[in-house]
Chains A and B, each alone.
Chain A
Protein backbone atom coordinates (compact mmCIF):
# COMPACT_ATOMS: atom_id res chain seq x y z
CA UNK A 1 0.00 0.00 0.00
CA UNK A 2 2.75 2.42 0.98
CA UNK A 3 4.53 1.39 -2.15
CA UNK A 4 1.57 2.10 -4.33
CA UNK A 5 1.13 5.49 -2.69
CA UNK A 6 4.73 6.31 -3.42
CA UNK A 7 4.35 5.39 -7.09
CA UNK A 8 1.26 7.55 -7.44
CA UNK A 9 2.84 10.47 -5.63
CA UNK A 10 6.04 10.32 -7.67
CA UNK A 11 4.21 10.16 -10.95
CA UNK A 12 1.91 13.01 -9.92
CA UNK A 13 4.83 15.15 -8.84
CA UNK A 14 6.65 14.54 -12.12
CA UNK A 15 3.50 15.48 -13.99
CA UNK A 16 2.91 18.64 -11.96
CA UNK A 17 6.48 19.83 -12.42
CA UNK A 18 6.23 19.12 -16.14
CA UNK A 19 3.02 21.13 -16.37
CA UNK A 20 4.64 24.03 -14.53
CA UNK A 21 7.64 24.04 -16.87
CA UNK A 22 5.36 24.01 -19.92
CA UNK A 23 3.24 26.83 -18.55
CA UNK A 24 6.30 29.01 -18.16
CA UNK A 25 7.59 28.08 -21.64
CA UNK A 26 4.23 28.86 -23.16
CA UNK A 27 4.01 32.20 -21.40
CA UNK A 28 7.39 33.13 -22.85
CA UNK A 29 6.84 31.99 -26.41
CA UNK A 30 3.17 32.70 -27.04
CA UNK A 31 3.43 36.51 -27.23
CA UNK A 32 6.33 36.17 -29.68
CA UNK A 33 4.31 33.86 -31.93
CA UNK A 34 1.24 36.09 -31.79
CA UNK A 35 3.28 39.17 -32.50
CA UNK A 36 4.89 37.55 -35.52
CA UNK A 37 1.54 36.39 -36.84
CA UNK A 38 0.19 39.92 -36.51
CA UNK A 39 3.22 41.35 -38.25
CA UNK A 40 2.84 38.88 -41.10
CA UNK A 41 -0.84 39.72 -41.34
CA UNK A 42 -0.05 43.40 -41.44
CA UNK A 43 2.47 42.78 -44.24
CA UNK A 44 -0.17 40.85 -46.16
CA UNK A 45 -2.59 43.73 -45.73
CA UNK A 46 -0.02 46.20 -47.01
CA UNK A 47 0.83 43.98 -49.96
CA UNK A 48 -2.75 43.88 -51.20
CA UNK A 49 -3.81 47.35 -50.10
CA UNK A 50 -0.86 49.72 -50.47
CA UNK A 51 -3.09 52.70 -49.69
CA UNK A 52 -4.30 51.14 -46.47
CA UNK A 53 -4.80 53.65 -43.68
CA UNK A 54 -7.03 51.85 -41.27
CA UNK A 55 -9.21 48.80 -40.95
CA UNK A 56 -12.27 47.84 -39.04
CA UNK A 57 -12.73 44.25 -37.90
CA UNK A 58 -16.01 42.40 -37.97
CA UNK A 59 -16.66 38.80 -37.05
CA UNK A 60 -19.35 36.86 -38.83
CA UNK A 61 -19.86 33.11 -38.32
CA UNK A 62 -16.42 32.64 -36.85
CA UNK A 63 -14.73 34.32 -39.80
CA UNK A 64 -12.96 37.59 -39.51
CA UNK A 65 -13.52 40.34 -42.03
CA UNK A 66 -11.36 43.43 -42.04
CA UNK A 67 -12.88 46.34 -43.88
CA UNK A 68 -9.89 48.13 -45.37
CA UNK A 69 -10.12 51.89 -45.53
CA UNK A 70 -8.01 54.50 -47.29
CA UNK A 71 -7.00 57.87 -45.86
CA UNK A 72 -10.18 59.36 -47.33
CA UNK A 73 -12.24 56.75 -45.53
CA UNK A 74 -13.09 54.98 -48.75
CA UNK A 75 -13.45 51.20 -48.63
CA UNK A 76 -10.52 49.63 -50.49
CA UNK A 77 -11.69 46.08 -50.03
CA UNK A 78 -12.17 43.29 -47.55
CA UNK A 79 -9.54 41.00 -46.11
CA UNK A 80 -11.16 37.87 -44.77
CA UNK A 81 -9.57 35.35 -42.42
CA UNK A 82 -11.20 31.97 -42.29
CA UNK A 83 -10.43 28.34 -41.66
CA UNK A 84 -11.70 25.12 -43.10
CA UNK A 85 -11.16 21.42 -42.56
CA UNK A 86 -8.59 20.17 -45.07
CA UNK A 87 -7.35 16.65 -45.59
CA UNK A 88 -5.32 16.41 -42.39
CA UNK A 89 -6.25 19.35 -40.26
CA UNK A 90 -7.54 22.89 -40.39
CA UNK A 91 -6.40 25.18 -43.21
CA UNK A 92 -6.31 28.84 -42.21
CA UNK A 93 -6.22 31.41 -44.97
CA UNK A 94 -6.51 35.10 -45.76
CA UNK A 95 -8.59 36.16 -48.72
CA UNK A 96 -8.02 39.60 -50.20
CA UNK A 97 -10.93 41.19 -52.06
CA UNK A 98 -10.60 44.52 -53.85
CA UNK A 99 -13.00 47.46 -53.89
CA UNK A 100 -15.02 45.96 -56.76
CA UNK A 101 -15.47 42.66 -54.96
CA UNK A 102 -12.92 40.62 -56.89
CA UNK A 103 -10.45 38.26 -55.27
CA UNK A 104 -6.97 39.73 -55.58
CA UNK A 105 -5.08 37.19 -53.56
CA UNK A 106 -5.10 34.20 -51.30
CA UNK A 107 -2.60 33.50 -48.55
CA UNK A 108 -2.37 30.26 -46.63
CA UNK A 109 -1.62 31.14 -43.03
CA UNK A 110 -1.22 27.59 -41.81
CA UNK A 111 -2.03 24.08 -42.92
CA UNK A 112 -0.98 20.48 -42.27
CA UNK A 113 -1.68 19.05 -45.72
CA UNK A 114 0.61 16.39 -47.10
CA UNK A 115 3.84 17.86 -48.41
CA UNK A 116 4.00 17.67 -52.19
CA UNK A 117 0.33 16.68 -52.50
CA UNK A 118 -2.17 18.75 -50.54
CA UNK A 119 0.42 21.49 -50.16
CA UNK A 120 -0.41 22.67 -53.72
CA UNK A 121 -2.91 24.98 -52.00
CA UNK A 122 0.11 27.16 -51.23
CA UNK A 123 1.19 27.43 -54.83
CA UNK A 124 0.30 30.37 -57.10
CA UNK A 125 -0.56 28.00 -59.92
CA UNK A 126 -3.53 26.77 -57.90
CA UNK A 127 -4.34 30.03 -56.13
CA UNK A 128 -4.56 31.89 -59.44
CA UNK A 129 -7.62 29.82 -60.30
CA UNK A 130 -9.46 31.86 -57.69
CA UNK A 131 -7.88 35.24 -58.27
CA UNK A 132 -10.09 37.57 -60.29
CA UNK A 133 -13.33 35.86 -59.30
CA UNK A 134 -16.06 38.09 -57.94
CA UNK A 135 -18.83 37.42 -55.45
CA UNK A 136 -21.35 37.08 -58.31
CA UNK A 137 -19.29 34.32 -59.92
CA UNK A 138 -20.23 30.73 -59.22
CA UNK A 139 -17.44 29.00 -57.32
CA UNK A 140 -18.46 25.37 -57.33
CA UNK A 141 -15.32 23.26 -56.74
CA UNK A 142 -14.57 21.06 -59.72
CA UNK A 143 -17.17 22.81 -61.88
CA UNK A 144 -16.35 26.51 -61.92
CA UNK A 145 -12.94 26.28 -60.29
CA UNK A 146 -10.82 23.25 -61.08
CA UNK A 147 -9.56 21.16 -58.20
CA UNK A 148 -6.11 19.57 -58.42
CA UNK A 149 -6.34 15.86 -59.08
CA UNK A 150 -4.52 13.89 -56.42
CA UNK A 151 -5.22 16.71 -53.99
CA UNK A 152 -8.97 16.90 -54.51
CA UNK A 153 -9.94 16.97 -50.85
CA UNK A 154 -7.54 19.78 -49.92
CA UNK A 155 -8.28 21.95 -52.95
CA UNK A 156 -12.05 21.37 -52.97
CA UNK A 157 -12.27 22.18 -49.26
CA UNK A 158 -10.43 25.42 -49.81
CA UNK A 159 -12.45 26.45 -52.87
CA UNK A 160 -15.70 25.64 -51.08
CA UNK A 161 -14.66 27.65 -48.05
CA UNK A 162 -13.68 30.59 -50.28
CA UNK A 163 -17.10 30.34 -51.90
CA UNK A 164 -18.78 30.63 -48.50
CA UNK A 165 -16.57 33.53 -47.54
CA UNK A 166 -17.30 35.30 -50.82
CA UNK A 167 -21.05 34.83 -50.34
CA UNK A 168 -20.90 36.54 -47.00
CA UNK A 169 -18.64 39.27 -48.35
CA UNK A 170 -20.95 39.82 -51.32
CA UNK A 171 -24.08 40.30 -49.30
CA UNK A 172 -22.57 41.93 -46.25
CA UNK A 173 -20.21 44.39 -47.85
CA UNK A 174 -20.93 44.75 -51.56
CA UNK A 175 -24.37 43.48 -52.55
CA UNK A 176 -26.06 46.20 -50.63
CA UNK A 177 -23.47 48.86 -51.06
CA UNK A 178 -24.07 49.37 -54.76
CA UNK A 179 -27.79 49.49 -54.21
CA UNK A 180 -27.39 52.01 -51.45
CA UNK A 181 -26.03 54.44 -54.00
CA UNK A 182 -29.45 54.45 -55.60
CA UNK A 183 -31.30 54.40 -52.32
CA UNK A 184 -31.96 58.13 -52.30
CA UNK A 185 -33.29 57.97 -55.84
CA UNK A 186 -35.64 55.11 -55.11
CA UNK A 187 -39.29 55.95 -55.42
CA UNK A 188 -41.40 55.70 -52.30
CA UNK A 189 -43.26 52.46 -51.97
CA UNK A 190 -43.22 49.00 -50.51
CA UNK A 191 -40.78 46.44 -51.89
CA UNK A 192 -40.90 42.75 -51.33
CA UNK A 193 -37.93 40.40 -51.24
CA UNK A 194 -37.15 36.89 -50.08
CA UNK A 195 -34.14 34.89 -48.95
CA UNK A 196 -33.39 31.58 -47.28
CA UNK A 197 -33.51 31.66 -43.50
CA UNK A 198 -32.56 28.97 -41.01
CA UNK A 199 -35.39 26.56 -41.78
CA UNK A 200 -37.52 28.17 -44.46
CA UNK A 201 -37.73 31.16 -46.72
CA UNK A 202 -38.04 34.58 -45.15
CA UNK A 203 -40.16 37.13 -47.01
CA UNK A 204 -39.94 40.77 -46.03
CA UNK A 205 -41.51 44.02 -47.12
CA UNK A 206 -39.42 47.13 -47.08
CA UNK A 207 -41.09 50.51 -46.99
CA UNK A 208 -39.20 53.31 -48.70
CA UNK A 209 -40.02 56.92 -48.31
CA UNK A 210 -38.01 59.91 -49.54
CA UNK A 211 -34.97 57.77 -50.25
CA UNK A 212 -34.98 56.20 -46.83
CA UNK A 213 -35.93 52.84 -45.42
CA UNK A 214 -38.71 53.68 -43.04
CA UNK A 215 -40.00 50.26 -42.10
CA UNK A 216 -39.25 46.56 -42.49
CA UNK A 217 -41.94 43.96 -41.99
CA UNK A 218 -41.80 40.21 -42.03
CA UNK A 219 -44.43 38.70 -44.28
CA UNK A 220 -43.46 35.10 -43.85
CA UNK A 221 -40.88 32.97 -42.08
CA UNK A 222 -40.50 29.49 -40.71
CA UNK A 223 -37.68 29.86 -38.19
CA UNK A 224 -37.98 29.20 -34.44
CA UNK A 225 -40.02 32.13 -33.17
CA UNK A 226 -38.01 33.12 -30.08
CA UNK A 227 -34.73 33.40 -31.91
CA UNK A 228 -36.24 34.96 -34.96
CA UNK A 229 -37.98 37.78 -33.08
CA UNK A 230 -34.77 38.73 -31.33
CA UNK A 231 -32.69 38.67 -34.52
CA UNK A 232 -35.27 40.59 -36.43
CA UNK A 233 -35.56 43.33 -33.82
CA UNK A 234 -31.81 43.83 -33.81
CA UNK A 235 -31.37 43.80 -37.57
CA UNK A 236 -34.37 46.06 -38.18
CA UNK A 237 -33.19 48.60 -35.66
CA UNK A 238 -29.74 48.73 -37.21
CA UNK A 239 -30.94 49.05 -40.79
CA UNK A 240 -33.40 51.79 -39.95
CA UNK A 241 -30.80 53.54 -37.89
CA UNK A 242 -27.82 53.24 -40.24
CA UNK A 243 -29.69 53.24 -43.57
CA UNK A 244 -27.33 50.69 -45.01
CA UNK A 245 -27.19 46.93 -45.30
CA UNK A 246 -23.47 46.33 -45.19
CA UNK A 247 -21.77 45.75 -41.88
CA UNK A 248 -24.97 44.99 -40.03
CA UNK A 249 -24.16 43.16 -36.84
CA UNK A 250 -25.79 39.75 -37.02
CA UNK A 251 -24.05 38.03 -34.13
CA UNK A 252 -27.17 37.27 -32.16
CA UNK A 253 -27.20 33.52 -31.64
CA UNK A 254 -29.60 33.11 -34.55
CA UNK A 255 -27.15 33.91 -37.29
CA UNK A 256 -28.93 32.12 -40.12
CA UNK A 257 -32.20 33.93 -39.47
CA UNK A 258 -30.48 37.28 -39.16
CA UNK A 259 -28.50 36.73 -42.32
CA UNK A 260 -31.68 35.70 -44.11
CA UNK A 261 -33.40 38.91 -43.07
CA UNK A 262 -30.51 41.06 -44.30
CA UNK A 263 -30.39 39.14 -47.58
CA UNK A 264 -34.14 39.42 -48.04
CA UNK A 265 -34.05 43.20 -47.53
CA UNK A 266 -31.05 43.31 -49.82
CA UNK A 267 -32.98 41.36 -52.48
CA UNK A 268 -36.07 43.49 -52.12
CA UNK A 269 -34.19 46.65 -52.98
CA UNK A 270 -31.79 45.03 -55.43
CA UNK A 271 -34.38 43.39 -57.65
CA UNK A 272 -36.29 46.62 -57.92
CA UNK A 273 -33.34 48.72 -58.95
CA UNK A 274 -32.34 46.03 -61.43
CA UNK A 275 -35.82 46.31 -62.88
CA UNK A 276 -36.25 42.64 -61.99
CA UNK A 277 -38.73 40.65 -60.00
CA UNK A 278 -39.19 43.09 -57.13
CA UNK A 279 -42.73 43.99 -56.47
CA UNK A 280 -43.84 47.56 -56.11
CA UNK A 281 -47.21 48.18 -54.60
Chain B
Protein backbone atom coordinates (compact mmCIF):
# COMPACT_ATOMS: atom_id res chain seq x y z
CA UNK B 1 0.00 0.00 0.00
CA UNK B 2 2.84 2.30 0.91
CA UNK B 3 4.37 1.61 -2.45
CA UNK B 4 1.21 2.68 -4.25
CA UNK B 5 1.04 5.87 -2.22
CA UNK B 6 4.64 6.56 -3.11
CA UNK B 7 3.97 5.96 -6.82
CA UNK B 8 1.04 8.33 -6.59
CA UNK B 9 2.60 11.14 -4.58
CA UNK B 10 5.92 11.38 -6.37
CA UNK B 11 4.21 12.74 -9.48
CA UNK B 12 2.61 15.53 -7.57
CA UNK B 13 5.52 16.73 -5.47
CA UNK B 14 8.90 15.08 -5.79
CA UNK B 15 8.84 14.50 -9.54
CA UNK B 16 6.24 17.01 -10.64
CA UNK B 17 6.30 16.82 -14.45
CA UNK B 18 6.33 20.58 -14.97
CA UNK B 19 8.25 21.98 -12.01
CA UNK B 20 10.77 19.19 -11.52
CA UNK B 21 11.02 17.33 -14.83
CA UNK B 22 10.15 20.22 -17.16
CA UNK B 23 8.18 17.90 -19.41
CA UNK B 24 5.14 18.86 -21.47
CA UNK B 25 5.95 22.55 -21.54
CA UNK B 26 4.35 23.25 -24.91
CA UNK B 27 0.71 22.80 -23.85
CA UNK B 28 1.61 24.32 -20.50
CA UNK B 29 2.66 27.57 -22.07
CA UNK B 30 -0.05 27.60 -24.69
CA UNK B 31 -3.33 26.83 -22.95
CA UNK B 32 -2.87 28.43 -19.55
CA UNK B 33 -4.57 31.73 -20.37
CA UNK B 34 -7.65 30.82 -18.32
CA UNK B 35 -7.88 28.65 -15.21
CA UNK B 36 -10.66 26.60 -16.75
CA UNK B 37 -8.50 25.81 -19.79
CA UNK B 38 -5.59 24.80 -17.61
CA UNK B 39 -7.80 22.53 -15.54
CA UNK B 40 -9.44 21.04 -18.65
CA UNK B 41 -6.11 20.37 -20.33
CA UNK B 42 -4.70 18.84 -17.15
CA UNK B 43 -7.66 16.53 -16.67
CA UNK B 44 -7.70 15.50 -20.34
CA UNK B 45 -4.00 14.65 -20.17
CA UNK B 46 -4.54 12.81 -16.87
CA UNK B 47 -7.29 10.69 -18.40
CA UNK B 48 -5.04 9.78 -21.32
CA UNK B 49 -2.07 9.13 -19.04
CA UNK B 50 -3.97 6.82 -16.69
CA UNK B 51 -5.54 4.85 -19.55
CA UNK B 52 -2.33 4.54 -21.54
CA UNK B 53 -0.30 3.58 -18.47
CA UNK B 54 -2.75 0.82 -17.57
CA UNK B 55 -2.97 -0.57 -21.10
CA UNK B 56 0.73 -0.35 -21.79
CA UNK B 57 1.55 -1.97 -18.46
CA UNK B 58 -0.84 -4.84 -19.08
CA UNK B 59 0.54 -5.36 -22.58
CA UNK B 60 4.18 -5.15 -21.49
CA UNK B 61 4.84 -8.89 -21.88
CA UNK B 62 2.98 -9.11 -25.14
CA UNK B 63 4.66 -6.22 -26.96
CA UNK B 64 8.11 -7.10 -28.34
CA UNK B 65 10.92 -4.81 -27.26
CA UNK B 66 11.77 -3.68 -30.79
CA UNK B 67 8.37 -2.24 -31.65
CA UNK B 68 7.39 -0.95 -28.22
CA UNK B 69 7.53 2.75 -29.18
CA UNK B 70 5.16 2.49 -32.19
CA UNK B 71 2.82 0.36 -30.09
CA UNK B 72 2.88 2.91 -27.27
CA UNK B 73 2.15 5.70 -29.69
CA UNK B 74 -0.80 3.85 -31.22
CA UNK B 75 -2.22 3.19 -27.75
CA UNK B 76 -1.73 6.82 -26.69
CA UNK B 77 -3.10 8.19 -29.96
CA UNK B 78 -6.19 6.02 -29.59
CA UNK B 79 -6.96 7.37 -26.14
CA UNK B 80 -6.26 10.95 -27.21
CA UNK B 81 -8.64 10.60 -30.14
CA UNK B 82 -11.31 9.13 -27.88
CA UNK B 83 -10.88 12.03 -25.42
CA UNK B 84 -10.96 14.46 -28.34
CA UNK B 85 -14.26 12.99 -29.55
CA UNK B 86 -15.76 12.98 -26.07
CA UNK B 87 -14.80 16.62 -25.47
CA UNK B 88 -16.19 17.62 -28.83
CA UNK B 89 -19.48 15.91 -28.06
CA UNK B 90 -19.96 16.80 -24.41
CA UNK B 91 -17.73 19.82 -23.64
CA UNK B 92 -17.79 21.89 -26.85
CA UNK B 93 -16.75 25.10 -25.07
CA UNK B 94 -13.62 23.54 -23.64
CA UNK B 95 -12.99 21.70 -26.90
CA UNK B 96 -12.94 25.00 -28.79
CA UNK B 97 -10.78 26.69 -26.17
CA UNK B 98 -8.14 23.95 -26.16
CA UNK B 99 -8.20 23.69 -29.94
CA UNK B 100 -5.27 21.89 -31.46
CA UNK B 101 -3.73 21.10 -28.06
CA UNK B 102 -6.09 18.20 -27.43
CA UNK B 103 -4.84 16.16 -30.41
CA UNK B 104 -1.32 17.28 -29.49
CA UNK B 105 -1.58 15.37 -26.20
CA UNK B 106 -0.37 12.47 -28.37
CA UNK B 107 3.10 13.96 -28.44
CA UNK B 108 3.01 15.22 -24.85
CA UNK B 109 6.31 13.90 -23.60
CA UNK B 110 4.96 13.21 -20.10
CA UNK B 111 2.76 10.45 -21.47
CA UNK B 112 5.32 8.72 -23.65
CA UNK B 113 7.87 9.38 -20.91
CA UNK B 114 5.81 7.54 -18.29
CA UNK B 115 5.07 4.69 -20.69
CA UNK B 116 8.75 4.23 -21.40
CA UNK B 117 10.13 4.90 -17.92
CA UNK B 118 7.46 3.34 -15.75
CA UNK B 119 4.47 1.51 -17.23
CA UNK B 120 6.48 -0.56 -19.70
CA UNK B 121 8.32 -2.24 -16.83
CA UNK B 122 5.96 -2.32 -13.88
CA UNK B 123 2.69 -3.99 -12.87
CA UNK B 124 -0.71 -2.58 -13.75
CA UNK B 125 -1.82 -1.18 -10.38
CA UNK B 126 1.44 0.64 -9.78
CA UNK B 127 1.27 2.10 -13.29
CA UNK B 128 -2.25 3.27 -12.58
CA UNK B 129 -1.15 5.15 -9.48
CA UNK B 130 1.85 6.52 -11.30
CA UNK B 131 -0.33 7.83 -14.12
CA UNK B 132 -2.80 9.33 -11.72
CA UNK B 133 -0.06 11.04 -9.70
CA UNK B 134 1.79 12.40 -12.72
CA UNK B 135 -1.47 13.53 -14.30
CA UNK B 136 -2.63 15.32 -11.19
CA UNK B 137 0.83 16.86 -10.74
CA UNK B 138 0.58 18.17 -14.28
CA UNK B 139 -2.96 19.42 -13.65
CA UNK B 140 -1.89 21.14 -10.45
CA UNK B 141 0.98 22.92 -12.19
CA UNK B 142 -1.29 24.03 -15.05
CA UNK B 143 -3.87 25.24 -12.58
CA UNK B 144 -1.34 27.32 -10.65
CA UNK B 145 0.09 28.90 -13.80
CA UNK B 146 -3.29 29.55 -15.38
CA UNK B 147 -4.75 31.00 -12.18
CA UNK B 148 -1.91 33.51 -11.92
CA UNK B 149 -2.22 34.39 -15.60
CA UNK B 150 -5.98 34.72 -15.49
CA UNK B 151 -6.01 36.92 -12.39
CA UNK B 152 -3.21 39.17 -13.62
CA UNK B 153 -4.11 39.14 -17.28
CA UNK B 154 -7.91 39.27 -17.13
CA UNK B 155 -8.75 40.15 -13.55
CA UNK B 156 -10.90 37.07 -13.12
CA UNK B 157 -10.79 33.58 -11.63
CA UNK B 158 -12.65 30.79 -13.42
CA UNK B 159 -14.50 33.52 -15.30
CA UNK B 160 -15.65 35.36 -12.16
CA UNK B 161 -14.60 39.01 -12.17
CA UNK B 162 -12.59 39.67 -9.02
CA UNK B 163 -12.00 43.38 -9.24
CA UNK B 164 -14.09 46.43 -9.98
CA UNK B 165 -14.23 48.22 -13.30
CA UNK B 166 -11.21 50.31 -12.30
CA UNK B 167 -8.92 47.27 -12.58
CA UNK B 168 -6.69 47.48 -15.61
CA UNK B 169 -5.66 43.91 -16.58
CA UNK B 170 -2.01 43.37 -17.46
CA UNK B 171 -2.16 42.25 -21.07
CA UNK B 172 1.35 40.83 -20.80
CA UNK B 173 0.14 37.95 -18.66
CA UNK B 174 -2.51 36.96 -21.15
CA UNK B 175 0.07 37.02 -23.96
CA UNK B 176 2.40 34.04 -24.64
CA UNK B 177 5.37 35.94 -23.18
CA UNK B 178 3.45 36.11 -19.88
CA UNK B 179 3.39 32.31 -19.82
CA UNK B 180 7.17 32.13 -19.96
CA UNK B 181 7.55 34.78 -17.26
CA UNK B 182 5.08 33.11 -14.88
CA UNK B 183 6.57 29.69 -15.46
CA UNK B 184 10.12 31.01 -14.95
CA UNK B 185 9.19 32.69 -11.70
CA UNK B 186 7.38 29.58 -10.48
CA UNK B 187 10.38 27.39 -11.34
CA UNK B 188 12.65 29.71 -9.36
CA UNK B 189 10.22 29.66 -6.47
CA UNK B 190 9.85 25.89 -6.44
CA UNK B 191 13.64 25.52 -6.61
CA UNK B 192 14.01 27.68 -3.52
CA UNK B 193 11.25 25.84 -1.65
CA UNK B 194 12.57 22.40 -2.59
CA UNK B 195 16.08 23.36 -1.44
CA UNK B 196 14.85 24.98 1.75
CA UNK B 197 12.83 21.94 2.80
CA UNK B 198 15.21 19.51 1.09
CA UNK B 199 12.51 17.64 -0.79
CA UNK B 200 14.32 15.25 -3.12
Check: A15 CB closer than 8 A to any chain B CB. yes
Interface residue ranges, A against B (CB under 8 Å): 3, 6-7, 10-11, 14-15, 18, 21-22, 25-26, 28-30, 32-33, 36, 115
Q: How far is the CB of B125 from chain A (nearest CB, A)?
A: 22
With A25-B81, A33-B89 as known contacts, state yes or no: A18 contacts B74, CB within 8 Å: yes
With A11-B70, A18-B78, A26-B85 as known contacts, state yes or no: A32 contacts B90, CB within 8 Å: yes
Q: How far is the CB of A113 from chain B (nearest CB, A)?
A: 11
Closest chain B residue to A11, Cβ basis: B67
Closest chain A residue to B33, Cβ basis: A115
Check: B187 CB closer than 8 A to any chain A CB. no
Q: Mark B22-64, 1 if CB is under 8 A from A, else 0.
A: 0000000000000000000000000000000000000100111
Say whether B85 contacts A29, CB under 8 Å: yes
Complex: how many Å from CA A25 to CA B89?
A: 11
Interface residue ranges, B against A (CB under 8 Å): 59, 62-64, 66-67, 70-71, 74-75, 77-78, 81-82, 85-86, 88-90, 92, 99
Partner of B82, one of A3, A10, A22: A22
Say whether B89 contacts A32, CB under 8 Å: yes
14 further A-B pairs in the complex, CB-CB below 8 A; given A11-B74, A18-B75, A22-B82: A10-B64, A11-B67, A11-B71, A14-B63, A14-B71, A14-B75, A15-B74, A18-B77, A25-B81, A25-B86, A28-B85, A33-B88, A36-B89, A36-B92
Q: How far is the CB of B59 from chain A (nearest CB, A)?
A: 8
Say whether A22 contacts B63, CB under 8 Å: no
Query: Nearest 6 A-B pairs (CB), nearest first?
Result: A29-B89, A32-B89, A18-B78, A29-B85, A25-B82, A25-B85
With A25-B81, A25-B82, A32-B89 as known contacts, state yes or no: A7 contacts B75, CB within 8 Å: no
